[in-house]
Amino acid sequence: MNVTEKQIDLLSLDTHELTGLIQSWNEPVYRVSQIQKWLYHELVDSFDAMSNLPRALRARLRQETTLESLKLIAAQDSADGLTRKALFQMADGQTVETVLMRYLDAPGSPEDSTDPPNIARRTVCISTQVGCPVGCPFCETGQAGYIRNLTLGQVVAQVLYFAREQKRQGYATPLTNIVIMGMGEPFMKFNVTWRAIEAFTDPARLGMGARRITVSTSGYVDGIRALIEKHSQVNLAISLHAPDDALRDELVPVNRKYPLRELMQACRDYVRATHRRVTFEYALMDGINDSPAQAQAVAQLLAGLLCHVNLIPLNPTSASPYQRSPYKRVLEFQRVLNQANIPTTLRVEKGIEIAAGCGQLRQQVTGRKLQTDKNVELQPVT
Ligand code: SAH
Ligand code: SF4
């Protein structure tokens, strides 16, 4: 990676900013849409490929801007070949994870599908921070500490990496969904996350429908309120994990700043303003938050709210003291919620078998003991 400090990260510029840059170079404004088409529609990764730009402009772009805010240093595929996880390094040496999750639209493995394979959904899960300051004790990222926020360009570059990869595989629409659910708390720097959502939805850039994008927060009420102000159709997910403040203070420590009463009020306001349902994520931990009484308490907390609960059997991590709930208990928990008319999905996390649970590839590559799985091959990428 040869990114100098003077170089502008082109992916960190919105249309207005790119126009300002192009005008300051005394270039005609129509160059902006030409450049954006190459970057976000044609998905090229070099200035040389931008064949309708004059040679001199390409040279100036190459010299004064960059597209290389992320360098792939490791990748890992799930045994079924549907999930791929990438570890990127940035100019300051820090690393960040991104995951591509693909879902078959018909039974069968990619090996016996046509080319390109019969894959209905191609979702990329992106990170917003290096580490995470929230510090949830069951989460690998939370336990790794916190370094910094990603820049807008680094958030966008994660999506473009997998969009390019899927385009090479032959998909006319390379990605169908984006989930902002990787490392970090996306609402801590709301502005960066919102600008990334704009880059994904802006027709001049990625042009994805807002309803295909989901942002997950540990419960940053200020961020939820800022999202309400945007009148956006993006999906909101809340990492609930506990039905009462005492337990949630421990499992999702941001609860001490934004207790459940405030969080639930923000969720109700969100539904009222957007008429969109809120998704609650609930990682089931053996003997911690998975009793039928706690399921009742969740049902009570969510009663009357337009919502959906994703039940996720915990993916145990190296540093965490918690274990996954037994399946029987998971089903019982789900039954209690369903009986209270709360819709649920039992989500067997895509890619958990390749440690897609938040922050785990990073731990593996950057030093911690591998969480081994005999089906998994860790390939260094040059
Ligand atoms: N920081 C944001 C988004 C990223 S985490 C948030 O917390 O919402 C995405 C989801 O994975 C969150 O619901 C998070 O609580 C959950 N998660 C983290 N570690 C997990 C683990 N070990 N097992 C299961 N879910 C986990
Ligand atoms: Fe941060 Fe989300 Fe992990 Fe909690 S679960 S530490 S908020 S990334």
Domain containing residue 335: CATH number: 3.20.20.70
Count of domains forming the chain? 2
Please measure the distance between the N-terminal and C-terminal CA atoms of the chain and give it in whole angstroms. Answer: 12
Q: Do 230 and 307 reside in the same domain of the chain?
A: yes
Task: Give the distance (Å) from ligand 2 centre to CA of residue 216.
Answer: 10
Q: How far apart (Å, rounded) are the C-alpha atoms in residues 56 and 360? A: 44
Nearest CA to ligand 1 atom 9: 181
Domain-located, residue 342:
yes
Parent domain of 328: 77-380
Q: Do 121 and 187 reside in the same domain of the chain?
A: yes
In 25-159 the beta strands, taken as DSSP E runs, fall at 65-66, 71-77, 83-89, 95-104, 119-125, 129-131, 146-149
Q: Do 60 and 99 reside in the same domain of the chain?
A: no
CA proximity to 178, closest of 104, 142, 127, 116: 127
Distance of CA 319 to the CA centre of its chain: 22
Q: How far apart (Å, rounded) are the C-alpha atoms in residues 210 and 223? A: 17
Domain-located, residue 71:
no
The per-residue pLDDT for range 26-51, each reduced to its tens digit, is 999 999 999 999 999 999 999 999 99
Q: Do 50 and 117 reside in the same domain of the chain?
A: no
Domain-located, residue 1:
no
Q: How far apart (Å, rounded) are the C-alpha atoms in residues 129 and 152? A: 11
Q: Do 152 and 58 reside in the same domain of the chain?
A: no
* Catalytic site includes residue 262: no
Q: Do 158 and 23 reside in the same domain of the chain?
A: no
Percent of the chain predicted with pLDDT > 70: 86
Domain-located, residue 214:
yes
Q: Do 46 and 81 reside in the same domain of the chain?
A: no
Ligand 2: atom nearest CA of 139 is 3
Domain-located, residue 230:
yes
Question: Is residue 132 in contact with ligand 2, taking CB distance under 6 Å?
Answer: yes
Nearest CA to ligand 1 atom 5: 181
What single DSSP character describes residue 182?
Answer: S
Instruction: Check whether 380 has a pLDDT greater than 80.
Output: no
Task: Give the distance (Å) from ligand 2 centre to CA of residue 339.
Answer: 30
**Predicted confidence band of residue 355 (pLDDT cuts 50, 70, 90):** very low
Domain-located, residue 247:
yes
Q: What dihedral angle (degrees, nearest 10) is formed by the CA atoms of 259, 309, 127, 258?
A: -10
Give 351 or 372, the one with higher predicted confidence: 351
Q: Is the pTM of this model over 0.75?
A: yes
**Predicted confidence band of residue 2 (pLDDT cuts 50, 70, 90):** low
Ligand 1: atom nearest CA of 183 is 4
Q: Do 121 and 32 reside in the same domain of the chain?
A: no
201's enclosing H/E stretch is helix 190-201
Lining residues, ligand 1, CB within 6 Å: 132, 136, 138-139, 181, 184-185, 216-218, 239, 281, 283, 312, 314-315, 317, 357-358
The per-residue pLDDT for range 248-294, each reduced to its tens digit, is 999 999 999 999 999 999 999 999 999 999 999 999 999 999 999 99
Domain containing residue 31: CATH number: 1.10.150.530
Nearest CA to ligand 1 atom 21: 315
Q: Do 104 and 40 reside in the same domain of the chain?
A: no
Burial letters 295-318, b for 16+ CB under 10 A, else e: bbbbbebbeebbbbbbbbbbbbbe
Nearest CA to ligand 1 atom 14: 239
Q: Which one is catalytic: 68, 97, 185, 281?
A: 97
Partnered with residue 125 across adjacent β-strands are: 99, 179
Mean pLDDT of 339-364: 67
* Catalytic site includes residue 27: no
91's enclosing H/E stretch is none
